[in-house]
Chain A
């Protein structure tokens, strides 16, 4: 098997009911619902090698989650070809399901009122995991994610970060070869995000697992994915190395500063391109390589109270990618 995932010309249409606002709208939609076809995916093609870690990015509604759901057999493709580990996902063959896992940051599989260990035991039975490897996996996963002490706490008493890590244990207890992660760090604080990221990285390396993850979080992608696929409006805009994407579209960094007075303010232009100036806030855009020099110049020559250097927001990179010619 040279490719773990093959997607070719995938199309997915949804039929949604539109509703006008207000009570009359509610009644109208009850009597004669207005149907509308939404084209979530308009011919998406890509393939992924076993052991690759690929980031899937795009704004809300771009079709990321729809793709993941189709790949894990939840959605029936309207048209196109999909194959995961040489299986047709929609058939939901038990042998296929035993080798994959889908983790959605906004959905829980853990039993809310019971300790997480109960869900793990249930999954052990569902996935038919031999006792010995179950014990090994459990020990390893709980250590990696640092949750050994929380196994017997009812899930509802765990913090969001702890719960997300438990979700990962539950999703990986059967050692899936293909892992679909949908917004795995949503709502987590920085430390928890880092823990989850480190873990995904280790898991991918250690078991040569194929990982496909979606995220809004630039940090997730910078730290994890070597290859990214940008999707917007149901179409792939970019598919390639992450570094190339940054080099190609994010040639600048953003410096945000707070000034204490308006002295010298007209000279700001010399440091970088002014994106926004409404005293005391100023936002400058400078070339990536010159960011450090620009920041120190700013600190020396201007009355700066506060200063940060930031990456261009992911949406802006996507917008830039969107304006350029999509390449396959």
Chain B
């Protein structure tokens, strides 16, 4: 355990050495919240109006909820794994008595803690500036379900990143392409970080809900808002849990195969 505490500490310190990078990343997040906020704020300018089953309070809570959920779920370091694999730096870890998965999961958590601190500050500031209507959830059961959904989301995202980062075992020159496609294009579109998934046509919605992506952002936020409850909540959590299982098994198979072809490139 002490191993991983130390990894947490050193990882946290390293994030601070990239201050400028970090600040720019936070600015990007705030800008995105601003944009999404104003779009929806305009659509729902009439407080009594209800579209897609959302009213002004709920949609704006959704937008603000994204801010915290994003910081918790989408701040991760595990995309750097592909670099370790492609450059051969992975060797440094494989020759040490340390679990490489746990190593990166710890680094992810340290990144999340740091981002959460900043996101909370931003949340308070934006809240004071925009004074949006916001739903403060008081139902303990709902909050608990929300926390469980967040844990699933964090693990799913970790597994997706790790799987993507295994591609360089076979195609070392892939670089950023696959990450960009998945983390920027697919995740942004399908996770619900721009709009709630349930505003889409029913058919499309069902397809997206069967993929792991909406369980990253959309599902936890909806759970928080109390829009998903009862059997739908249970079913959703089951789908998320199944994805954790499927991705975990898949990652282990891929990783074991990858290690066998690993040639410690570049040396």
- Show the binding face of A for B, using Cβ within 8 Å: 14-15, 65, 69, 72-76, 92, 94, 97-98, 100-102, 104, 106-109, 111, 113-114, 118-119, 121-128, 154, 182
Partner of B267, one of A92, A97, A107, A121: A107
Residues of B within 8 A of A (CB-CB), count: 27
Residues in B whose Cβ lies below 8 Å from that of A100: 95
For chain B, residues 14 to 54, give those with C-beta under 8 angstroms from any C-beta of chain A: 14, 17-18
B203 on the interface (CB 8 Å rule)? Answer: no
B131 on the interface (CB 8 Å rule)? Answer: no
Q: How far is it, in angstroms, between the C-alpha of A114 and the C-alpha of B17 when the chains are bound?
A: 8
Ordered by A's residue number, 28 sampled pairs between the chains whose C-beta atoms are within 8 Å are A15-B261, A65-B267, A69-B91, A69-B264, A72-B95, A73-B94, A74-B95, A74-B262, A74-B264, A75-B263, A76-B259, A92-B94, A94-B97, A101-B95, A102-B95, A107-B89, A107-B92, A107-B266, A107-B267, A113-B14, A114-B13, A114-B14, A121-B10, A123-B96, A125-B5, A125-B7, A128-B97, A182-B267
Q: How far is it, in angstroms, between the C-alpha of A73 and the C-alpha of B94 when the chains are bound?
A: 8
Q: How far is it, in angstroms, between the C-alpha of A85 and the C-alpha of B88 when the chains are bound?
A: 25
- Show the binding face of B for A, using Cβ within 8 Å: 2-3, 5-7, 10, 13-14, 17-18, 88-89, 91-92, 94-98, 259-264, 266-267
Contact (Cβ within 8 A) A122 B264 = no
- B168 vs chain A, min Cβ distance (A): 13
Residues in B whose Cβ lies below 8 Å from that of A123: 96
Q: How far is it, in angstroms, between the C-alpha of A92 and the C-alpha of B91 when the chains are bound?
A: 12
State whether A113 and B264 are in contact (beta carbons under 8 Å apart), knowing that A74-B95, A100-B95 are contacts in the complex. no
Residues in B whose Cβ lies below 8 Å from that of A106: 266-267
Partner of A121, one of B6, B89, B97, B259: B6
- A34 vs chain B, min Cβ distance (A): 15
Partner of B10, one of A14, A72, A73, A118: A118
Residues in B whose Cβ lies below 8 Å from that of A121: 6, 10
Q: How far is it, in angstroms, between the C-alpha of A119 and the C-alpha of B149 when the chains are bound?
A: 35
Contact (Cβ within 8 A) A111 B267 = no
Contact (Cβ within 8 A) A73 B97 = no
Partner of B264, one of A75, A109, A119: A75
Identify 10 new A-B residue pairs, CB closer than 8 A, beyond the known A69-B91, A154-B17: A69-B264, A97-B96, A101-B95, A107-B266, A111-B14, A119-B10, A125-B3, A125-B7, A126-B97, A126-B98
Contact (Cβ within 8 A) A125 B2 = yes
- B196 vs chain A, min Cβ distance (A): 39
Contact (Cβ within 8 A) A118 B13 = yes
Closest A residue to B6 by beta carbon equals A125
Contact (Cβ within 8 A) A14 B95 = no
Residues in A whose Cβ lies below 8 Å from that of B260: 76
Closest A residue to B98 by beta carbon equals A126
- B28 vs chain A, min Cβ distance (A): 22
Contact (Cβ within 8 A) B10 A114 = yes
State whether A128 and B95 are in contact (beta carbons under 8 Å apart), knowing that A74-B264, A113-B17 are contacts in the complex. no
Residues in B whose Cβ lies below 8 Å from that of A97: 95-97
Q: How far is it, in angstroms, between the C-alpha of A124 and the C-alpha of B98 when the chains are bound?
A: 12
- A85 vs chain B, min Cβ distance (A): 14
Residues in A whose Cβ lies below 8 Å from that of B10: 111, 114, 118-119, 121-122
- A324 vs chain B, min Cβ distance (A): 30
Q: How far is it, in angstroms, between the C-alpha of A122 and the C-alpha of B13 when the chains are bound?
A: 12
Closest B residue to A76 by beta carbon equals B260
Q: How far is it, in angstroms, between the C-alpha of A100 and the C-alpha of B266 when the chains are bound?
A: 22
